[in-house]
Amino acid sequence: MRTWTLRGTTTSYVVGVPDHGRWAELVAWGPHDGLAPVAVVGTEHFVPRADVEPMEYAVRGVRYTSPVDLVVSGSDGSDEFRPVFVEAREADGLELEFADVVRIVLHYRMVGDAVERWVSLRNDGPNEVVLHRHDSAGFVVPGGNTVKYLWGEWNSEFQQASVTLPRGRFTIGSAQGITGHSYSPYLVVDGDVAYGVQLAWSGSWEMSADVDTTGLVRIQAGRTSSSLGITLKPGETWVSPKAVGACSAEGTDGLARVFHEYERAASRKRIPKVLYNSWFATEFDIRAEHQLELARRAAGIGVETFVVDDGWFVGRSDDTGGLGDWEVDPAKFPGGLDAFIGQLKDLGLDFGLWVEPESVSPTSQLAKDHPEWILRTPGRDPILIRNQLLLDLSRDDVAEFIWSTLDRLLSTYDITYLKWDANRPRLDSGDQRRDLDGRVVANLYQILEKLRDRHPKVSVEGCAGGGARVDLAMASLVDTLWPSDNTAPLDRLRIQEGFRTGFAPHLMSSWVTDAEGTHDGRERSLDFRFHVAMAGVLGIGADLSRWTDDQLKTAARHIEQYKGFRELIASSLVYRLTTGVQYVGAPRSVVFLWETGDGNVRGTLPTRPRRVPLAGLDPAKNYRVGNETYPGSYLLQVGIPFEGPADSHCLVVEHLD
């Protein structure tokens, strides 16, 4: 067998092609010093050998009874292919090429400790072929059978759950044409070493974990096939999205750090500016004077960017109209938007704007002018959700309209921040022969790339009715992601903990609002709300006109402290603590501790101060917390006390020599 090793920072991924050349298989994956092998031992019965081997990419026709990653049918009515190994190329990563009528290239690239995998498929035959199943990769996992995943719904995203799978199959996905609230494209297998896979795709997708009869787990990740499949004409090539696998000897928490590093590598490394967003304060009731009143208060507490959310454009007094007609409403900004932005500048504030460019209101002028741009299934009425329809972004003229609309707004006005929203799933199947999902998502990515390229000073926040479009692809194309519309303190904390298992703090947009608990109604202090939001990219979304001087002072104090360590939060190693989170950077760590009030909230039972052991420190070094100096070993094993009436703490731990 020929083998190739992809060497990461602390882990390696070893792949091989047996002498018969009929497939590639995983040889070992894990920490450099403890590489776990996965070869099958013994003989197989009743199935072909390929069905028990640790296949990297399983093709129908090589493998039969175990799950396959690729199913292609040809004009002869067969769906069996027998590709053979042609060659390996090792330039930027590794490419393994196999040939049949469809030429398959398996691509690998190591980034930190994450291995990117994707495939390209070229039709080398004289006739059309149809791809019915077309995964990005299969990842054989060398150990463990506890499968962790993130589920959710609107207002309740990123809930952590797990299932123990001694044998059998577990599948999650989205049929929504968008990443979705229901599941994140993320699966983790927790054993002695934690292995995880994420799929970088913002359309419909599917991920499965299969445990074979020997107990070995294999994760498949890919775009969902439409019922008509994807047609490849002779000579055409199809490229899958990337699936990213990672492993960590430090469990799910360590795995999160590997994914964070991967996401940081693709980020623009911007200083996260403190923003104010008026949505929760005013909703659609936007009046320039009132917005300025909020802006004055925001500037007074240290906010740097003022974002006007939904409702600024013509026809948008509620959610029934306006989408598509992206012109500033003169009734809301009587002096014009330029003058408003000028007044913000005088207050020292930059300006940001909300848009939802993929959607259209049926009552809008755009819908009247271009009915052919509305996504619909021929002969059926389009499906209305939140009173809106979708533009058919698989069309290049629609992509051009969206781009030129954004380009015009960003070129006309002094805008430094764009909140890009998407408030409905894509359900109408349109004309599936055009690979709707693939074309829509490709056009979306192209527009986001162009935005970065042509308007580099504009930061982009990705939002989709809360957190319905959070995935590795979006993480590489926008600056921050909005995890949820739920900003209630205890609910939000839980959402953010789930978010952080896959996504880095520099991406985690988080606001302090007045929201009461949506699910967990117990009250928490303003400090608690700030500390929750300061654990990511801090924003304020409260109605500041109702805040007392004391509240404003508290806010100013927290914002000032945040500015002192926000770059550390955006770039550090994150460790989950028993009741908090620690950001380990140099030369300090930032620790947030939260009292989540699990029982005895009123202190009516005898109790002792709780201690929270820290993480990620060197036991042999010294650290200062406030006026006290502690050995690292003490902080790691005994920890710092969490006491007093406060329901949250923010501690800065100075790393001494």
* CA within 13 Å, CB half, 507: 32
When the beta carbons of 421 and 595 are compared against ligand GLA, the nearer one is: 421
Question: How many other C-beta atoms can be found within 10 angstroms of the C-beta atom of residue 644?
Answer: 9
> What is the spatial distance between Cα 506 and Cα 492, in angstroms, rounded to a whole number?
17
Q: Cβ distance 207 to 171 under 8 Å?
A: yes
* CB burial string 191-228: b at 16+ within 10 A, e below: bebbbbbbbbbbbbbbbbbbbbeeebbbbbbbbbbbee
Binding-site member from 30, 465, 483, 616 for ligand GLA (CB under 6 A): 465
Q: Which stretch binds ligand GLA (CB under 6 A): 24-32, 368-376, 458-466, 640-648?
A: 458-466
When the beta carbons of 388 and 416 are compared against ligand GLA, the nearer one is: 388
Smallest gap from residue 284 Cβ to ligand GLA (A): 8
Q: Which stretch binds ligand GLA (CB under 6 A): 124-132, 216-224, 459-467, 598-606?
A: 459-467
When the beta carbons of 482 and 642 are compared against ligand GLA, the nearer one is: 482
User: Closest-CB residue for ligand GLA?
Assistant: 310
Binding-site member from 354, 401, 547, 575 for ligand GLA (CB under 6 A): 354
Binding-site member from 55, 341, 463, 653 for ligand GLA (CB under 6 A): 463
Q: Cβ distance 256 to 190 under 8 Å?
A: no
List of residues 6+ apart from 453 with CB closer than 8 A: none
Q: Which stretch binds ligand GLA (CB under 6 A): 179-187, 329-337, 463-471, 590-598?
A: 463-471
Binding-site member from 310, 461, 471, 491 for ligand GLA (CB under 6 A): 310
Q: Is 485 in the site for ligand GLA (CB under 6 A)?
A: yes
Q: Which stretch binds ligand GLA (CB under 6 A): 19-27, 462-470, 519-527, 637-645?
A: 462-470
When the beta carbons of 70 and 281 are compared against ligand GLA, the nearer one is: 281
Smallest gap from residue 464 Cβ to ligand GLA (A): 7
When the beta carbons of 89 and 386 are compared against ligand GLA, the nearer one is: 386
Q: Cβ distance 472 to 188 under 8 Å?
A: no
Pick the closest to residue 301 from 628, 100, 548, 484 (CA basis): 548
Q: Is 309 in the site for ligand GLA (CB under 6 A)?
A: yes
Smallest gap from residue 465 Cβ to ligand GLA (A): 5
When the beta carbons of 257 and 469 are compared against ligand GLA, the nearer one is: 469
Smallest gap from residue 485 Cβ to ligand GLA (A): 5
Smallest gap from residue 309 Cβ to ligand GLA (A): 5
Pick the closest to residue 53 from 70, 68, 39, 37 (CA basis): 39
Residue 550 DSSP code: H
Pick the closest to residue 626 from 644, 604, 606 (CA basis): 644
Q: Is 421 in the site for ligand GLA (CB under 6 A)?
A: yes
> What is the spatial distance between Cα 97 and Cα 87, in angstroms, rounded to a whole number?
5
Q: Is 407 in the site for ligand GLA (CB under 6 A)?
A: no
When the beta carbons of 430 and 466 are compared against ligand GLA, the nearer one is: 466
Smallest gap from residue 236 Cβ to ligand GLA (A): 38
> What is the spatial distance between Cα 200 and Cα 222, in angstroms, rounded to a whole number?
9
Binding-site member from 226, 388, 423, 648 for ligand GLA (CB under 6 A): 423
Question: What is the total residue count of the chain?
Answer: 657
Pick the closest to residue 417 from 359, 358, 341, 471 (CA basis): 341
Q: Is 491 in the site for ligand GLA (CB under 6 A)?
A: no
Smallest gap from residue 200 Cβ to ligand GLA (A): 22
> What is the spatial distance between Cα 341 and Cα 475, in angstroms, rounded to a whole number?
29
When the beta carbons of 310 and 437 are compared against ligand GLA, the nearer one is: 310
Q: Is 466 in the site for ligand GLA (CB under 6 A)?
A: yes
When the beta carbons of 423 and 571 are compared against ligand GLA, the nearer one is: 423
Smallest gap from residue 10 Cβ to ligand GLA (A): 37
When the beta carbons of 28 and 286 are compared against ligand GLA, the nearer one is: 286
Smallest gap from residue 214 Cβ to ligand GLA (A): 45
> What is the spatial distance between Cα 110 and Cα 246, in angstroms, rounded to a whole number?
10
> What is the spatial distance between Cα 142 and Cα 502, in angstroms, rounded to a whole number?
21
* Beta-sheet pairing, 146-151 with 183-190: antiparallel
* # residues contacting ligand GLA (CB under 6 A): 10
Helix/strand/coil percent split, the chain, to 5: 25, 35, 45
Smallest gap from residue 466 Cβ to ligand GLA (A): 5
When the beta carbons of 254 and 467 are compared against ligand GLA, the nearer one is: 467
Smallest gap from residue 256 Cβ to ligand GLA (A): 24
What spatial distance separates the first Cα and last Cα of the chain, rounded to whole Å?
Answer: 49
Beta strands in 142-277 (DSSP E): 146-151, 159-164, 168-174, 183-190, 194-199, 205-211, 217-223, 230-232, 237-239, 243-248, 275-277
When the beta carbons of 135 and 421 are compared against ligand GLA, the nearer one is: 421
Smallest gap from residue 566 Cβ to ligand GLA (A): 22
Binding-site member from 85, 149, 195, 279 for ligand GLA (CB under 6 A): 279
Number of H helices, E strands in the chain: 12, 38
Q: Is 329 in the site for ligand GLA (CB under 6 A)?
A: no
When the beta carbons of 185 and 539 are compared against ligand GLA, the nearer one is: 539
When the beta carbons of 423 and 459 are compared against ligand GLA, the nearer one is: 423
Smallest gap from residue 541 Cβ to ligand GLA (A): 8
Question: How many other C-beta atoms can be found within 10 angstroms of the C-beta atom of residue 600?
Answer: 10
Smallest gap from residue 154 Cβ to ligand GLA (A): 8
User: Alpha carbon of 462 to those of 24, 422, 478, 484: distances in Å?
Assistant: 37, 9, 6, 11
Pick the closest to residue 463 from 517, 505, 423 (CA basis): 423
Q: Cβ distance 568 to 585 under 8 Å?
A: yes
When the beta carbons of 108 and 279 are compared against ligand GLA, the nearer one is: 279
Give residues in contact with ligand GLA (CB under 6 A).
279, 309-310, 354, 421, 423, 463, 465-466, 485
